[in-house]
């Protein structure tokens, strides 16, 4: 359940439910921009951390930044490409996290599993999230009133996580799998594994299409916040490997960069947590 921050002189009251639809429209606009660049001969550059970036990343981010300045003036925005250029706002209890093109590798290879991610963080918690997969025509959103999805021109369909069925359907990264994940899953009752790109993995849990997403590779907060918000709104949860809720706005981390996430576990049914917590597995191994 989300709890909006109380208003203060520098932080006016915010109607989260009313904000969600404009964020969806902004994600659709950014997605349309991305699709204009979606072709086999797309030019690819390499950022300082070795990750790929395209013109679509920068143009979509510019659209989102301009839109957020109009929709919610005064709320800081932490966006992936701005952060890569060393431009981050001061710490705030309320701020947006933006990944304009999550799954750039999927965008480059042409498999369609890339998304636009926009999230609002309040006091370390993702309280609103929008994930749009433009090539697939799938829009997901979540906030205080719950989570929903829209396929193409269809009406909204509400989403709720499913009860854990026993053996779990696990979803994992298509481009960033790890041997550690494979070893970890050997200790759990797994019915099947599905590979998927970008933040769509969170959305699969929220829609009841899968049960569990463990991530033992590197992620940043803008990779996860929007999907995390949607999953929480659908009744799921995202925790660190010792069972603590994943938090946002992590800065001045002595062991890692600003906004870097620890390894995490994402669940549809929170009842899976005691079974999947890595501390418990380590004790029983």
In this model, does residue 134 exceed pLDDT 70?
Answer: yes
The structure's pTM equals 0.91
Q: Residue 248: pLDDT above 80?
A: yes
Locate 248 and state its tokens.
Answer: 């946002």
Percent of the chain past pLDDT 70, that is, above it, reads 92
Binding residues for Mg(2+): 80, 99, 101-102, 223
Contact predicate 237/214, CB 8 Å? no
Question: 168-284: what CATH class?
Answer: alpha beta
Which H or E element spans position 60?
helix 55-71
What is the band of 5 on the pLDDT scale with cuts at 50, 70, 90?
A: low
- pLDDT confidence band for 176 (50 / 70 / 90): low
- Cα–Cα distance, 28 to 11 (Å, whole number): 28
What are the pLDDT digits (tens) for 221-240? 999 999 999 999 999 999 99
pLDDT for 196 equals 92
In angstroms, rounded to a whole number, what is the distance separating the alpha carbons of residues 114 and 131? Answer: 10
Q: What is the CATH number of domain 16-158?
A: 3.30.540.10
- Residue boundaries of the structural domains of the chain: 16-158, 168-284
Question: Which pLDDT band holds residue 183 (cuts at 50, 70, 90)?
Answer: confident
Q: What average pLDDT score do residues 60-86 get?
A: 96
Mean pLDDT within 153-176 = 89
Nearest to 159 by CA among 117, 127, 206: 206
Q: Which of 244, 241, 237 is nearest to 267 (CA)?
A: 237
**What is the reported pLDDT for 168?**
95
Contact between residue 162 and residue 208 where contact means Cβ atoms under 8 Å apart? yes
Sorted by sequence, the CB contacts under 8 Å of residue 87 that are 6+ apart come out as: none
Kindly indicate the confidence band of residue 249, based on its pLDDT and cuts at 50, 70 and 90: very high
Residues of the binding site: 80, 99, 101-104, 223
Least confident of 24-33, 36-45, 142-151: 36-45
Q: What pLDDT, on a 0 to 100 scale, did the predictor assign at position 256?
A: 87
User: In the predicted model, is pLDDT for residue 166 greater than 90?
Assistant: no
Predicted pLDDT of residue 282 = 46
| 66-79: average pLDDT | 96
Could you tell me which residues are annotated as the binding site for substrate?
80, 101-104, 223
φ/ψ of 204, rounded to 5, equals -65, -40
Q: What is the mean pLDDT of residues 105-132?
A: 96
Residue 198, C-beta contacts closer than 8 angstroms, at least 6 positions apart? 102, 103, 106, 113, 114, 115, 133
């Amino acid at each position: 359940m989300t709890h909006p921050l109380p208003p203060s002189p520098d932080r006016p009251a915010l109607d989260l439910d009313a904000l969600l639809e404009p964020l969806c429209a902004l994600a659709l606009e950014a997605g349309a921009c991305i699709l204009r660049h979606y072709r086999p001969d797309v030019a690819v550059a390499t950022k300082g951390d070795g990750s790929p970036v395209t013109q679509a990343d920068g143009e979509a981010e510019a659209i989102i930044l301009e839109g957020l300045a109009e929709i919610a003036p005064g709320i800081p925005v932490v966006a992936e490409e701005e952060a890569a250029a060393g431009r981050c706002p001061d710490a705030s209890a309320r701020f947006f996290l933006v990944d304009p093109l999550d799954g750039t590798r999927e965008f480059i290879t042409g498999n369609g599993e890339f998304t636009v991610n926009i999230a609002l963080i309040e006091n370390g918690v993702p309280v609103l999230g929008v994930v749009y997969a433009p090539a697939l025509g799938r829009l997901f959103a979540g906030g205080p009133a719950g989570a929903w999805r829209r396929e193409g021109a269809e009406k909204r369909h509400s989403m709720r996580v499913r009860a854990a069925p026993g053996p779990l359907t696990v979803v994992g990264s298509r481009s960033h799998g790890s041997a550690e994940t494979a070893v970890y899953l050997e200790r759990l009752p797994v019915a099947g594994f599905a590979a998927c790109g970008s933040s769509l993995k969170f959305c699969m849990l929220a829609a009841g299409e899968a049960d569990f997403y463990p991530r033992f590779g590197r992620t940043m907060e803008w990779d996860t916040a929007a999907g995390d918000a949607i999953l929480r709104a659908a009744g799921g949860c995202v925790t660190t490997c010792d069972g603590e809720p994943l938090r946002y706005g992590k800065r001045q981390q002595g062991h890692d960069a600003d906004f870097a996430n620890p390894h995490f576990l994402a669940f549809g049914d929170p009842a899976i947590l005691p079974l999947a917590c890595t501390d418990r597995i380590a004790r029983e191994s």
